[in-house]
Amino acid sequence: MKLVVIGAQWGDEGKGKMVDYLAEDADLVVRFSGGANAGHTIKVENRTFALHLVPAGIIYPEKKVALGNGMVIDPESLFKELGEIASQGISWEGRVFVSDRAHLVLPSYKEEDMSMESKRIRPIGTTGRGIGVTYANKAHRDGIRVGDLWDPVIWEGLKEEDRSWLAPFKDKLAGMIVNMAAFMMENRDKDILLEGAQGALLDLDHGTYPFVSSGMSTSCGAAQGASIGPRYIDKCLGVFKAYQTRVGNGPMPTEMLEGADLELGNTLRELGHEYGVTTGRPRRIGYLDLVALRYAGWVNSLDGFILSHLNLYDGFETIKICTAYEIDGEIVEEFPASIDRMERIKPVLKEFPGWEGKVGDARSWDQIPAGAKDVIRFIEEFTMVPVAGYSVGPLRDETFMKDPAWAK
């Protein structure tokens, strides 16, 4: 079976943790998009792993992982990360594969990324990892792919400084490279988990452009970025948080900005440790936005959601959720493309009563407090997507599925 997991908001939904959980039943985990702009945190017993490029399945000693052709790879970051994983007692050699068609991030791309950002009238808030420049070079047809390092014409055509920077990584990468399509075809009967990065609202096409990343972060990117046809994908799951976060700039209609909202946002930021894994920036906090979530369900053809962080609302008297937008006095229920319109949105918030008991103590659907179930049922009806699984804390055993993940 081929199972896709994507982020259904602006990233940082808890995808890494869910991929780690779901990887237990996978033979192979393939990351299909993005680069070292991602930050995926995994807690296993007393160890914490912060992954940026390496797929989350790596923590299991015997699983194979692959970095797909849809990714943009900074080899220095990759080997630094693999070194850190090894220093935490995980041996990775022989089970990390890299697509020959993935594009390489060079040091000058990162500088260019920051220099372009400094000239923007409306800066995006890029992580500065060279992501946008690498994808732009790819689209311009001037990029350098991993496999191109062995093409004598391309290699000789590189600047001397790039060649000497790349040379040590070239040797290390040599044993890891695969022809991705052939590799996936060989593994066609295996259970493969396709791991997304970023989130639907940061997708180059479907996100809040230009305040997006440059990769394909929706489920459509899974086929493209992992060298399989779309009909071989069996199921798509989208992770979302019970509130909303965003790091970097761009519209966020439900952001908690003033007075009691701001206080609530600050509380949630501390409870949820909402600081970037990649940059350490404090994340912006907002109410759960169901208009955006329904849109994400649609553009990703989600079979199910995985709801995380609902436990943070345990003990609250009320919980508010956005069910529509008001733009210039008009009620709007679809997710706009125009940034100008998005910036004028006043969220229409629906208030739900808090609940007795703790979502954080639940380890199955039956144990979720009744009041919280009412909120969940409302989300399901509104978005037309069932909530198939739950993450109620950072640990592996604080995760459970209502509907089995690895069943079609």
- Rounded to a whole number of angstroms, the minimum distance from the CB of residue 172 to ligand IMO is 24
Instruction: Report whether 302 contacts 237 (CB < 8 A).
Output: yes
- Per CB under 5 A, contacts with Mg ion among 265-284 are 277
- Rounded to a whole number of angstroms, the minimum distance from the CB of residue 134 to ligand IMO is 10
Distances (CA, A) of 375 to 7, 37, 125: 20, 33, 33
Given 127, 134, 218, 323, the residue binding ligand IMO (CB under 6 A)? 127
Given 3, 23, 38, 327, the residue binding ligand IMO (CB under 6 A)? 38
Classify residue 363 by its DSSP letter: S
CA distance 86 to 335: 43
Given 17, 32, 39, 194, the residue binding ligand IMO (CB under 6 A)? 39
- Per CB under 6 A, contacts with ligand IMO among 236-275 are 247-248
CA distance 179 to 98: 9
Written as one string, the DSSP assignment of 150-195 is: G-HHHHHHS-HHHHHHHHHHHHHHGGGEE-HHHHHHHTTTS-EEEE
56: contact with ligand IMO by CB under 6 A: no
Selection from Mg ion, ligand IMO, none that 202 binds (CB < 5 to 8 A by kind) is ligand IMO
Given 6, 8, 12, 147, the residue binding Mg ion (CB under 5 A)? 12
Classify residue 70 by its DSSP letter: T
With CB atoms as reference, the residue minimizing the distance to ligand IMO is 248
322, β-bridge pairs: 289, 349
- Which residue lies nearer to ligand IMO by CB, 42 or 177? 42
The answer to whether residue 12 is catalytic is yes
CA distance 275 to 191: 33
Q: Which of 40, 52, 103, 206 is the catalytic position?
A: 40
Q: Please choose, out of 5-13, 90-98, 171-179, 339-347, the segment that lies near ligand IMO by the rule CB under 6 A.
A: 5-13
Selection from Mg ion, ligand IMO, none that 129 binds (CB < 5 to 8 A by kind) is ligand IMO
29: contact with ligand IMO by CB under 6 A: no
216: contact with ligand IMO by CB under 6 A: no
Q: How far apart are the first and last CA of the chain?
A: 8
By CB atoms closer than 10 A (0-12, 13-18, 19+), residue 358 is middle
- Which residue lies nearer to ligand IMO by CB, 58 or 202? 202
CB within 8 Å of 393: residues ≥ 6 apart? 311, 360
126: contact with ligand IMO by CB under 6 A: yes
Instruction: Report whether 238 contacts 296 (CB < 8 A).
Output: yes
Tell me which residues touch Mg ion (CB under 5 A). 12, 39, 277
Tell me which residues touch ligand IMO (CB under 6 A). 7, 10-12, 37-40, 124-127, 129, 131-132, 197-199, 202, 213, 247-248
